[in-house]
């Protein structure tokens, strides 16, 4: 049986969702067409708009629709002199949910991975270097993931801080080794922040 | 932390997908923005087009972008005089994959459910009645789901067929091929025993 062109295209396109195979894609397409056309249309519009409009903050690289994000413009955060380096924008969400941290962020959008061709410039370290020179940062909190790549990246950035005579600390206690930061509960994250150590 | 408007909207909109809660919606949104913007844009366009363009075949009610679907226009299927009644377009896909059936379909887009206000007209039985009068149907094969609602619906349609002097048959229920007897529920086993055939 030949499915209609738009339906085939929709089923194919749904495969971009993480963990969705051909069978699930088909089930989702039929579900939306049979039971939630408004939801499907709304999702279509939201996806188109988000993929088109959401760029990156010119200062911290997080997802943002303007040139500079709200967090980077917040006077209290700027005055704190704290800059927390994370791998992904979702890490910011997790940290903000603890309500413990009032400072700025810098988002690497990944981690060092030389074998994949991801070097310092690919994760914005030239930009971070510049930020440390031009901006009044007193302490860089290294909150990359507690994985081998995350540790390597943290170590590399610590050296960058040393070069710029800025103190660097690494979040420490409570973060399970091998885990992903944005899956850690708020209490654990709070402990990790309070227990950070100079590196 | 306030997410940007387009990002919040996207996360909300993703909740229309079956089984996707707020946490999964957030992960999907970040995944697409970080790693697959082309896929996300393509999905946005495909959803908008599909929800807008895909209607129902005027004859069999399955999903279709034209007035009448290919299956309903197929001469071999029309000439067979067979009409298979199913609850959902995905049932057609499953039956077509067997390669055994060459006939037309009629899609109820649901089943009788008086408590939910779904009566005969809501599942297109007025249209089916008309089809039985105007079209040369020799046998209606009732392939609704083997649930209480599916059986009730099949029974109701069988009476409609009788009124129109068209033969009605029900697909056989029994032990699934390749299944284990002790894992089959009692209702199915009863059907299997009652439907036994001389070998
Ligand atoms: Zn920013
Ligand atoms: Zn049709």
Interface pTM (ipTM) of the complex?
0.82
Task: Please give the model's pTM, rounded to 2 decimal places.
Answer: 0.79
Q: Which helix (H) or strand (E) holds A44?
A: helix A37-53
pLDDT of residue A1: 60
A173 pLDDT more than 60? no
With an 8 Å Cβ cutoff, is A103 touching chain B?
Answer: no
In the numeric block, the tokens 């000439």 are attached to B79
With an 8 Å Cβ cutoff, is A54 touching chain B?
Answer: yes
pLDDT tens digit sequence for A36-55: 999 999 999 999 999 999 99
Q: Do A71 and B1 touch (CB under 8 A)?
A: yes
pLDDT of residue B109: 94
pLDDT of residue A165: 95
Chain B residues lying within 8 Å of A33, measured CB to CB: 50-51, 54, 63, 89
- How far apart (Å, rounded) are the C-alpha atoms in residues B154 and B142? 6
Average pLDDT over residues A86-114: 92
- How far apart (Å, rounded) are the C-alpha atoms in residues B153 and A54? 49
Q: Which of residues 5-44 of A touch B (CB under 8 A)?
A: 5-7, 9-10, 12-18, 26-34, 36-37, 39-44
CB pairs under 8 A between A and B: 177
**What is the CA(B131)–ligand 2 centre distance, in A?**
12
A142 pLDDT more than 70? yes
In the numeric block, the tokens 């971009």 are attached to A16
What is the token pair recorded at A141?
């909190």
Domain A73-170, CATH number (from 3.40.50.720, 3.40.50.150, 1.10.3470.10, 3.40.1360.10): 3.40.1360.10
Chain A residues lying within 8 Å of B73, measured CB to CB: none
- The 8-class DSSP code of residue A113 comes to B
With an 8 Å Cβ cutoff, is B48 touching chain A?
Answer: yes
- The residue ranges of DSSP E strands in chain B, in sequence order, are 55-56, 63-64, 82-86, 104-107, 139-142, 167-170
Model confidence at A81, pLDDT cuts 50, 70, 90, reads very high
Model confidence at B160, pLDDT cuts 50, 70, 90, reads very high
- How far apart (Å, rounded) are the C-alpha atoms in residues A141 and A152? 15
Nearest CB among B12, B44, B92 relative to A48 is that of B44
With an 8 Å Cβ cutoff, is A118 touching chain B?
Answer: no
Chain A residues lying within 8 Å of B31, measured CB to CB: 18
A117: left (phi over 0), alpha (psi -120 to 50) or beta: left
Q: Where are the alpha helices (DSSP H) in chain A?
A: 5-14, 22-35, 37-53, 70-73, 75-80, 89-98, 125-134, 148-163, 186-194
With an 8 Å Cβ cutoff, is A88 touching chain B?
Answer: yes
């Amino acid at each position: 049986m030949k499915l209609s062109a738009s339906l085939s295209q929709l089923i194919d396109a749904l495969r971009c969702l993480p963990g969705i195979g051909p069978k699930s894609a088909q089930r989702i397409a039929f579900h939306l067409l049979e039971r939630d056309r408004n939801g499907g249309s709304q999702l279509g519009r939201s996806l188109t708009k988000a993929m088109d409009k959401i760029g990156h903050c010119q200062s911290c690289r997080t997802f943002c629709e303007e040139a500079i994000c709200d967090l980077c413009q917040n006077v209290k955060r700027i005055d704190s002199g704290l800059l927390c380096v994370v791998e992904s924008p979702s890490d910011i969400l997790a940290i903000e949910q603890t309500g413990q941290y009032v400072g700025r962020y810098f988002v690497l959008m990944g981690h060092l991975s030389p074998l994949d061709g991801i070097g310092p410039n690919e994760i914005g370290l030239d930009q971070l270097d510049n930020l440390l020179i031009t901006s009044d940062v007193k302490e860089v909190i290294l909150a990359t993931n507690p994985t081998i790549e995350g540790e390597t990246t943290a170590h590399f950035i610590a050296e960058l801080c040393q070069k710029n005579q800025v103190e660097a600390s690494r979040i420490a206690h409570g973060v399970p080794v091998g885990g992903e930061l944005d899956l850690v509960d708020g209490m654990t994250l709070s402990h990790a922040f309070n227990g950070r150590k100079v590196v």
